Amino acid sequence: MQTWNDLQQVQPLASKIMMNSIKRNRLSHAYLVQGSRGTGKKSFARLIAMTLLCEARQGVNPCQTCNTCHRIMTGNHPDLHWIEPDGRTIRNEQIDLLRKEFAYTGLETTQKIYIVSSAETLTVNAANRILKFLEEPDVETTAILLTDNGRGIIPTIRSRCQVIDFQPLDQTAFRNRLINIESESITENNARLLSALTNNIDEAILYHQEETIYHVRDVVKQLVYELIVRYPERYLFVHQKWIPALKERKEQELGLDLLIIALKDVVYAQMGREDETFLFQSGDGLLERAIYEFTQKRLLQMLKDLLHARQKMNQNVHPTLVIEQLVLQF
Ligand SMILES: [Zn+2]
């Protein structure tokens, strides 16, 4: 999603609001973007940054070819900062570091932009520092806070931001678009899995063409099988199958992501919403077994452990260590 017109296809309302503000030169200094995972919040934030900093904007849209656009697209622009939660919260130190970096190195333009992912994890202290940051008169700062969980945002932050609501994805329309690409022959089942990971058509096609995602799905299903049928062997399975099959860190991360999707599928299926599964087909024998085998309490605990494991992976803990610990916790 590199232009506001692209965004219009998935988030028509948000896109319209932004295009109007850009035309009138009335962009806000703080945005709170709330919407569920996979709705395109990060692309949206990047697009705002490109619009603000592009050297040769064409109407409302960034040119996508200038040096600045290119650096933003490759995550390499000194006036644009991303803050990701470090562990479970965004700490004071992260905000302080950012202020310092901006003070000393942000010399390319007079605009500074920072994007905060998982803004609901800001501690009250860190949130207060961000608010102060916004009030600094000598720097033109734009803050874009992103959250999957709007209710977790503290009121003082919310009241200072322009709130942009992202609509839930129209999953069926997205899947149909994928299925109807004649050159790719994507099955319904595979389209469902792709739609769990992205709402971007090009990214979905790339996943499909690489095929890694389908191999990873097989390994994840095998692990679910092991957990049900050969529980004491799960650690052995990790060493004999999981690690040899998922060699790259990227594949290991995808493995955890798909495992999260698989367990959520089981939770949904237990609630009788089998048509809403992503990784399992409705009526899949393994899904049926999982529904009976796992209690809801255990599934929720496993999901919690998984999210924690996924964070450790982000913090560069060795993937083998992460998956070993995880299956022992299960
Ligand atoms: Zn540009």
Three-state secondary structure string covering 84-97: CCECCEECHHHHHH
Cα distance between residue 98 and residue 103, in whole Å:
8
Q: From the centroid of its chain, how far is CA 70?
A: 21
Dihedral over alpha carbons 47, 49, 53, 56 (to 10 degrees): 0
Position 137 scores a pLDDT of 63
* 105 alpha carbon – ligand 1 mean position (Å): 21
Helices and strands in the chain, H and E counts? 17, 5
Position 88 scores a pLDDT of 66
* 109 alpha carbon – ligand 1 mean position (Å): 14
* 55 alpha carbon – ligand 1 mean position (Å): 5
- Residue 301: other Cβ atoms inside 10 A: 14
* 108 alpha carbon – ligand 1 mean position (Å): 15
Q: Where are the beta strands (DSSP E) in 140-193?
A: 140-147, 162-165
CA nearest to 234, candidates 319, 300, 326, 306:
326
Q: What is the pTM of this model?
A: 0.59
Q: Name the residue with tokens 């800001």.
A: 122
Q: Using an 8 Å Cβ cutoff, are 303 and 330 in contact?
A: no
Walk along the chain (330 residues) and give the pLDDT tens digit of each residue: 678 988 887 788 999 999 999 999 999 989 999 998 778 898 899 999 999 999 999 999 999 999 999 999 998 888 888 888 766 677 777 777 776 766 655 455 577 888 998 888 887 777 777 777 777 666 688 899 999 888 888 888 888 899 999 987 777 888 888 999 888 999 999 999 999 888 778 889 999 999 999 999 999 999 999 999 999 999 999 999 999 999 888 899 999 999 999 999 999 898 888 778 899 987 789 999 999 999 999 999 999 999 999 888 888 889 999 999 999 999
* 3 alpha carbon – ligand 1 mean position (Å): 11
